[in-house]
Amino acid sequence: MAKPIYVGIIGLGTVGSGVAKILLEKGDLLAKRVGAPVVLKRIVDKYPDRVKLKVAKKLLSTNLEDIFGDDEISIVVELVGGYEPARSFILKAIERGKHVVTANKALLAAHGKEIFTAAGRKGVDIGFEASVGGGIPVIRALREGLVADHIQSILGIMNGTSNYILTKMTDEGSSFGDVLKEAQAKGYAEADPAYDVEGIDAAHKLAIISTLAYGSFVRLEDIYTEGIASIEPVDIAFARELGYRVKLLAISRCDGQSIEVRVHPTMIPSEHLLANVNGVYNAFYVRGDAVGQVLLYGLGAGMMPTGSAVVGDIVDLSRNVLKGTTQRVPALSCAIDQMRSLPIKPMDDLVCRCYMRFSVVDSPGVLSKIAGVLGRNGISIESVIQKGRDVRGSVPIVMMTHEARESDVRKAVAKIDRLDVVTAKTMFIRIENTI
Amino acid sequence: MAKPIYVGIIGLGTVGSGVAKILLEKGDLLAKRVGAPVVLKRIVDKYPDRVKLKVAKKLLSTNLEDIFGDDEISIVVELVGGYEPARSFILKAIERGKHVVTANKALLAAHGKEIFTAAGRKGVDIGFEASVGGGIPVIRALREGLVADHIQSILGIMNGTSNYILTKMTDEGSSFGDVLKEAQAKGYAEADPAYDVEGIDAAHKLAIISTLAYGSFVRLEDIYTEGIASIEPVDIAFARELGYRVKLLAISRCDGQSIEVRVHPTMIPSEHLLANVNGVYNAFYVRGDAVGQVLLYGLGAGMMPTGSAVVGDIVDLSRNVLKGTTQRVPALSCAIDQMRSLPIKPMDDLVCRCYMRFSVVDSPGVLSKIAGVLGRNGISIESVIQKGRDVRGSVPIVMMTHEARESDVRKAVAKIDRLDVVTAKTMFIRIENTI
């Protein structure tokens, strides 16, 4: 067997521990699959006291030079997270001619161009499968499996925490706040849940895979993002009645001219596969012009699933090291200098069907007032549900619209919310039918 | 840009036409993704008259030496299908030092060892993503994405035709025969449907991916195979009543000691994702010890989906050619000389819950006779449905058993079928709950 390939890990938190565990426990399996031993040589962590995993003392260090300065180590695994010092660590590893594996979606979404450009110049590779969808091999699918396709759209459930909360709300009729508290108690949600429930985490992932899929840089600030905090049990109940499920979808589309990218609560038909992705599971529904529709589903987070993806990348890079090849697969599916620069479609131009729930006083003429505003804004109504459910002293009217422009919907909703018969902010949820 | 990589196609049927179409129409996209032009230089087909795709005359030939003897052509795409002459073509391509892409599942299931060994000796690569699951990148997922995992089980809907038939039977309550005729008329089923509806096609695919997943050769003859022809609308209706769907599942499991492999109609809980894979779609539900559960879903056949997978492999091999590397990823996940040789678990030892439908005369004491036979064979009953539906003059009794051994079930059913109160062969369908 060939001589070993040495790996260094920076950051031994949850995912780092999963990666170390796999490398330490599955040496035989990995050696068989790579054709050379893959050896974890060093773990650098700033806080060695926090390390829970049992590893030999000699593996641990607090000194980054024990990795960067070790010429035997050819693969550096960055699992620190966040922008800095993770960015500097990765750039330093690249500068020293080391290949990098990272699960850092926030960093890649914000500084991907800089990092991939530096890696390209130095001729090293960046593995980042674990940055999107945990253990689901979606980056590999886009960059390699579906390479013959013009990707037309990606619809995904890309955040496990918010999917867990929506699933619980759906199954138990509980409120967002109650489920969030429970999820926090169970460790499924962070103390500060904003990153997950406001769609920011999903937007990071959408930025990365849309960039890959369309060969054009999609930045975080390009993505319209709306969270799930305002979804109420009554909306989920109405959705069910209408044959839909409410999911936090990350959506991007490309028609070759422009790119549409957005993250928001979405109603999808209940028989759709994505409607049946529940709990902490993630899924990516990809449409290519040749392959048609492909769905990839699995655990989008967690020590071992994400560890599995990181080690998948370590094996990939080890196979390169063994064969003495680099830059075999362009990091972003095509060379950076060949990336397109497609414009982002303004959110105002979005056209889709909508669910609207109006909170109104229960008096004659209310329906016609609302319908009047919608009509004057070019929004036509497909169906109406009005029944005497009591929500905080007012009555809900639910309407499903035909396809309408986002800008018209917003204008109409703003006007309706100023009507004196309206008792609370109107809820509207976009519908995806034609997926 | 680097100099072109030349490709030759043998066999311009449906899939071949899809591959040629992608290579001819998407030259720019592929060149960007590979870093060099990928050029279709020659198509050899024995029957040039049958070719429907419009291609330049100079591309077409009936002489195989126009591909094998052309030193510029480094990648040969075999899309002839069947055992011979496909096997000889592939071996000849390997002998001439050419990389091979094939969609030929029957050939690989039967002669994979010979082909992969020859390729390994010669130092060329074999791409076979399209042999399993059409456009779904499942081989890539197993061989690369999930390489850190001990794969524990694969459950799949691996044949579109039989899934289409079962879906139609479920949605419309029609009989197997009627739906089959309709499927044949629409071109979804072959004139001789045995290969699809008897589970043979699914068994081919299961043999290939189980070999990959477990690192031990699984042969076609190792696989217990049962088709869907005996499923009746009444079984599907009972399944629904009990909260299940009937699917033709291909199942394999490996506990590290032995391998279980089988293809048969299976009842799965209706909320399971696999239960919601309908029509001609395929899906693979893979469980790994680190990644947990992963599902891959898409079109398992067809000109463009399969074409997409073939071109994905062509790009993969082109990237190798460009970088001057071969055998970077072992064809079967690990080197052939490192494959294990795990025994196949006898079907008789299978333990699972069962649905049984007895056809009996409507008279007192029948239920106790049947229950008596089951009890004496160690099979305990979980629930019973007995109602007066009239099926061909007899009455059905449906039982769901607790976990029972296959050998006991077969013994009991054989005895029951000899009872004079039984009017027709007992139907039994295995249940998968713990997936």
Among B294, B308, B329, the residue with its CB nearest the CB of A298 is: B294
Distances (CA, A) of A159 to A124, A166, A265: 30, 11, 12
Residues A144 and A283 in one domain: yes
pLDDT(B359) > 70: yes
Q: Given an 8 Å threshold on Cβ–Cβ distance, is A276 in contact with B277?
A: no
User: Would you state the pLDDT for residue B362?
Assistant: 86
Average pLDDT on A367-382 reads 96
Q: At B310, is the secondary structure helix, strand, or coil? A: helix
Work out the pLDDT band at A172, boundaries 50, 70, 90: very high
Q: Computed from CA positions of residues B321, B327, B332, B336, in that sequence, does the dihedral angle turn out positive or negative?
A: positive
Residue of A nearest to B337 (CA): A32
Report angle CA B406, B411, B414 to the nearest 5 degrees.
120
Among A149, A307, A315, the residue with its CB nearest the CB of B308 is: A149
Average pLDDT, chain B: 95
Mutation site, A30, A144, A282, interface B, largest B CB count within 10 A: A144
Among A33, A135, A215, the residue with its CB nearest the CB of B330 is: A33
CB A152 within 8 A of CB A287: yes
Q: Does A265 touch chain B (CB under 8 A)?
A: no
For residue B154, which phi and psi values (nearest 5 degrees)?
Answer: -130, 125
Distances (CA, A) of A374 to A321, A348, A408, B225, B382: 62, 16, 9, 59, 56
pLDDT(B159) > 70: yes
User: Would you state the pLDDT for residue A66?
Assistant: 97
Taking the C-alpha atoms of residue B166 and residue B160, their distance in angstroms, rounded to an integer, is 10
CATH number for the domain including A361? 3.30.70.260
pLDDT(B391) > 60: no
More confident residue, B129 or A388: B129
- Point out the domain boundary residue: B299, B327, B356: B299
Average pLDDT on A37-64 reads 91
CB A154 within 8 A of CB A285: yes
Report angle CA A196, A171, B171 to the nearest 5 degrees.
115
Residues B169 and B261 in one domain: yes
More confident residue, B82 or B364: B82
Distances (CA, A) of B60 to B14, B41, B103: 16, 9, 21
Q: Does A340 touch chain B (CB under 8 A)?
A: no
Residues B114 and B146 in one domain: no
Residues A100 and A237 in one domain: no
Which chain B residues are closer than 8 Å to A129 by Cβ?
145
Q: Given an 8 Å threshold on Cβ–Cβ distance, is A296 in contact with B295?
A: yes
With a pLDDT cut of 90, the percent of chain B lying above it is: 90
Q: Given an 8 Å threshold on Cβ–Cβ distance, is A150 in contact with B293?
A: no
pLDDT(A237) > 80: yes
With a pLDDT cut of 70, the percent of chain B lying above it is: 98
Give pLDDT tens digits for B284-327.
999 999 999 999 999 999 999 999 999 999 999 999 999 999 99
CATH number for the domain including A270? 3.30.360.10
pLDDT(A434) > 80: no
With a pLDDT cut of 90, the percent of chain A lying above it is: 90
Distances (CA, A) of B319 to A214, A360, B314: 20, 62, 9
- Domain of residue A333 covers 5-135+303-338
* A394/chain B closest Cα distance in angstroms: 36
CA within 13 Å, CB half, B301:
20
By C-alpha distance, which of A280, A314, A315 is closest to A298? Answer: A280
Residues B317 and B373 in one domain: no
Q: Does B319 touch chain A (CB under 8 A)?
A: yes
Q: Given an 8 Å threshold on Cβ–Cβ distance, is B215 in contact with A311?
A: no
CB A192 within 8 A of CB A165: no
* A20/chain B closest Cα distance in angstroms: 12
Q: Given an 8 Å threshold on Cβ–Cβ distance, is A32 in contact with B335?
A: yes
DSSP code at position A394: B
Q: Does A94 touch chain B (CB under 8 A)?
A: no
Residues A175 and A250 in one domain: yes
Which chain B residues are closer than 8 Å to A330 by Cβ?
33, 35
With a pLDDT cut of 70, the percent of chain A lying above it is: 98
Mutation site, A1, A19, A33, interface B, largest B CB count within 10 A: A33
Residue of A nearest to B304 (CA): A290
Residues A126 and A10 in one domain: yes
Which chain A residues are closer than 8 Å to B317 by Cβ?
none
Among A22, A147, A297, the residue with its CB nearest the CB of B312 is: A147
User: Would you state the pLDDT for residue A352?
Assistant: 95
pLDDT(A191) > 90: no
Work out the pLDDT band at A388, boundaries 50, 70, 90: low
Q: Given an 8 Å threshold on Cβ–Cβ distance, is A328 in contact with B330?
A: no
What are the DSSP calls for A94-135, one per residue? HHTT-EEEE--HHHHHHHHHHHHHHHHHHT--EE-GGGSSTT
Work out the pLDDT band at B389, boundaries 50, 70, 90: low
Give pLDDT tens digits for A352-369.
999 999 999 988 889 999
The amino acid at A181: K
Average pLDDT on B385-394 reads 71
DSSP code at position A190: -
Among B137, B293, B305, the residue with its CB nearest the CB of A298 is: B293
Distances (CA, A) of A271 to A268, A353, B140, B245, B272: 8, 18, 28, 14, 12
What does DSSP say about strands B354-360 and B422-431: parallel, antiparallel, or unpaired? antiparallel
Give pLDDT tens digits for A103-153.
999 999 999 999 999 999 999 999 999 999 999 999 999 999 999 999 999
Work out the pLDDT band at A50, boundaries 50, 70, 90: confident
Work out the pLDDT band at A391, boundaries 50, 70, 90: low
Mutation site, B129, B142, B149, B332, interface A, largest A CB count within 10 A: B149
Work out the pLDDT band at B124, boundaries 50, 70, 90: very high
Q: Does B35 touch chain A (CB under 8 A)?
A: yes
Check B205, B369, B411, B425 and give the catalytic one.
B205
By C-alpha distance, which of B250, B297, B262, B292 is closest to B156? Answer: B250
Taking the C-alpha atoms of residue A28 and residue A36, their distance in angstroms, rounded to an integer, is 10
CATH number for the domain including B15? 3.40.50.720
Residues A87 and A193 in one domain: no
By C-alpha distance, which of B412, B87, B133, B387 is closest to B250? Answer: B133
Residues A9 and A81 in one domain: yes
- Point out the domain boundary residue: A291, A320, A338: A338
CA within 13 Å, CB half, A194:
1
* A420/chain B closest Cα distance in angstroms: 45
Residues A80 and A143 in one domain: no
User: Would you state the pLDDT for residue B326?
Assistant: 94
Taking the C-alpha atoms of residue A333 and residue B308, their distance in angstroms, rounded to an integer, is 16
Mutation site, B23, B144, B272, B318, interface A, largest A CB count within 10 A: B144
Give pLDDT tens digits for A298-339.
999 999 999 999 999 999 999 999 999 999 999 998 888 889
Residue of B nearest to A296 (CA): B296
The amino acid at A324: G
Average pLDDT on B364-391 reads 89
CB B264 within 8 A of CB B248: yes
Q: Does A259 touch chain B (CB under 8 A)?
A: no
**Window 282-311 of B, Cβ < 8 Å to A:** 283, 288-299, 302, 304-305, 307-309, 311
Residues A314 and A397 in one domain: no
* B1/chain A closest Cα distance in angstroms: 11
By C-alpha distance, which of A132, A147, A130 is closest to A312? Answer: A130
Taking the C-alpha atoms of residue B108 and residue B127, their distance in angstroms, rounded to an integer, is 11
Rounded to the nearest 10 degrees, the angle between the axes of helix A160-172 and helix A233-241 is: 70
Find where tokens 């099979």 sit: B379
By C-alpha distance, which of B114, B291, B339 is closest to A32? Answer: B339
Q: Given an 8 Å threshold on Cβ–Cβ distance, is A297 in contact with B292?
A: no
Q: Given an 8 Å threshold on Cβ–Cβ distance, is B298 in contact with A294?
A: yes
Among A288, A320, A334, the residue with its CB nearest the CB of B33 is: A334
For chain B, how many structural domains are there in total? 3
Question: How many C-beta atoms surround the C-beta of residue B405 within 10 A?
Answer: 16
Residues of A tagged active-site: 205
Q: Tally A–B CB contacts below 8 A.
A: 201
* B396/chain A closest Cα distance in angstroms: 31
Residues B127 and B160 in one domain: no
Taking the C-alpha atoms of residue B164 and residue A371, their distance in angstroms, rounded to an integer, is 43
CB B278 within 8 A of CB B182: no
Find where tokens 């190792």 sit: B222
Residue of B nearest to A276 (CA): B273
By C-alpha distance, which of A334, A163, A329 is closest to A250? Answer: A163
* B296/chain A closest Cα distance in angstroms: 5
What are the DSSP calls for B169-215, one per residue? HHHH---HHHHHHHHHHHTSS-SS-HHHHTSHHHHHHHHHHHHHHHT
Give pLDDT tens digits for B396-434.
999 999 999 999 999 999 999 999 999 999 999 999 986
Which chain A residues are closer than 8 Å to B295 by Cβ?
283, 295-298
pLDDT(B274) > 80: yes
For residue B405, which phi and psi values (nearest 5 degrees)?
Answer: -80, 140
Instruction: Specify the pTM.
Output: 0.96
- Point out the domain boundary residue: A312, A338, A364: A338
Taking the C-alpha atoms of residue A94 and residue A89, their distance in angstroms, rounded to an integer, is 9
Q: Does A146 touch chain B (CB under 8 A)?
A: yes
| H-helix segments, B59-144 | 65-68, 86-95, 105-122, 138-140
User: Would you state the pLDDT for residue A144?
Assistant: 95
Q: Given an 8 Å threshold on Cβ–Cβ distance, is B140 in contact with A144?
A: yes
